[in-house]
Structure 1
C-alpha cells in the first residue's frame, strides 16, 4: 500500500510576528527532536520515562506513518500529533488511553479501521498561542478525509474539572463548557478546533486535575454520510 506523505508550509504568528513553519510526517531521523518536544513540554519533576521513547516512535512510523505528524520551525521540531486507526470492536464499551493506544506503542493499529484515534498532541511552550496546535489538528482532519475514514476521535483532559467535581458530574461539566458556563483550557481548545463532545470516559488517564476523567471528542468526515 502506498504511504501518503504530508508536507505543507504556512505562516503562523508567534508573539505577534509572522514565522514560517512546515507541517509534515515525522520519520526515524526526527526521533531526537520528538523526544526534545516532550522534554520541553514536560520538564522535571515530570518523569522522563513517560516521554516518548524510540521504541514507541519506531512503531508510529512503521505501523501508521500517515498518523505521525510534526511541525517544524527553522529546522527545529516545535510540535507533534500522533494517531492510529481503530475499529468499532476496539471502541466497544469503555476504554482508557492505555488500552486504546497500546500504551502509546499503537501495536493494536487496525489498518482497516475507520476511526482515526488521537494518541497525543504536543506543542512547545513558546509556540502554544501561535495556532500550531490547531494546524496540527487540522492536518489530522485532512488525513481522515484523504484516507476516506469516518471520523477522528480522542480523549481530552478536563483539567478544570477538579474545581467543580464536588458539585457537578463529568458530563454536566462537559455540557457546561459547551454552554459557556465553564472554561477549560483543553476542552475549549478542542472545541475551537471543531471537535464535538460525544461523552466522558472514567479512569481514562491518571490525572488528578481531571479526576481521571476525559471528554471523548470527535470530528466527523463531512464528505461521508
Structure 2
C-alpha cells in the first residue's frame, strides 16, 4: 500500500501533508469533498456514493488515494487498470470506468486510468492535486505499468465556445494563450495530450468534451 509524508506551503508556512490509501472509514469525508469540489452545474449524480467507493477499495485499493493536511482530509484521486489501444483511443468516461463503479478494472491491465481527482476548494493553493497525481506515477513505476491515462475536463471552454472550436481552445491552452482550470493543471503535472474526445461526460461547462492525456512510464521506453 502507499504512504507518503511531506510538507507543502500554506501562505509561506510549511504544513504537513500525507498521501495514503483511503478506506471505508474515509467515505463520509470523501463524499463531502466531492460535493464541495464539483458544485452545480456539475451533475450531482456523478458525485461518489458509498457503493462506488466500496468498489474502489475492494477492486483496486492501490488506486484509491487521499491526501490529508495536518490531519484534515483535503482531497482524493481514484484509478483503475485497463487495457488501452492507442490506435482506438475514443471512449466515454462511463464506458471505461463503468460509471465510476470500476467493474471494468482489469488486474492485468498496463494502463492506470484516472477516474477522478478532486481537492477541497480551500486547499487548492497547496498543489495537492500534483501530490496525488505523483502517487499514481509512483504506482505505475512500482508495478511496471505503461502509463497513467485519463480524460481531462475543459471547464473553461464554455466561455470561449462561441468563437473557438474545442480543438482551437485546446491549442490555445497548450500554447499558453488561455488557461483552463483542469487542462492547465494536468499539463503542470506532466500529462501530455493524446486526443480530443466528444461526448466524453455530461459536462455543461466543457460542452461534453474532454482531452485525453497521458503520462508514460519513463522506464518503459
TM range (shorter): over 0.9
Number of residue pairs matched by the alignment: 221
The aligned runs of 1:1-225 (5 Å cut-off) are 5-43=1-39, 48-88=44-84, 92=88, 94-225=90-221
CA change 1:44–1:169 in 2 (3 A) is closer
Per-residue deviation, 1:73: 2.4
Which whole-Å deviations, capped at 9, do the CAs of 1:4-51 have from their partners, x for residues lacking one?
x00011111123322101100011221122112113323578665432
CA distance in 1, matches of 2:41, 2:182: 22
- Please list every run of 5 or more consecutive structure 2 residues that lacks an aligned counterpart in the other structure: none
Q: SS of 1:116's equivalent?
A: strand
Whole-Å separation in 2 of the counterparts to 1:46 and 1:172: 23
CA contact (8 A) 2:42 2:204 kept: no
| More divergent stretch after superposition (74-83 vs 161-170) | 161-170
CA distance in 2: counterparts of 1:218 and 1:163, whole angstroms: 26
TM-score by length of 1: 0.91
- Per-residue CA deviations over 1:166-223 (Å, capped at 9, x if unaligned) read 3332222212211122211211111011000111100011112211100111100000
TM-score (norm: length of structure 2): 0.93
Distance of 1:16 and 1:124 partners within structure 2? 19
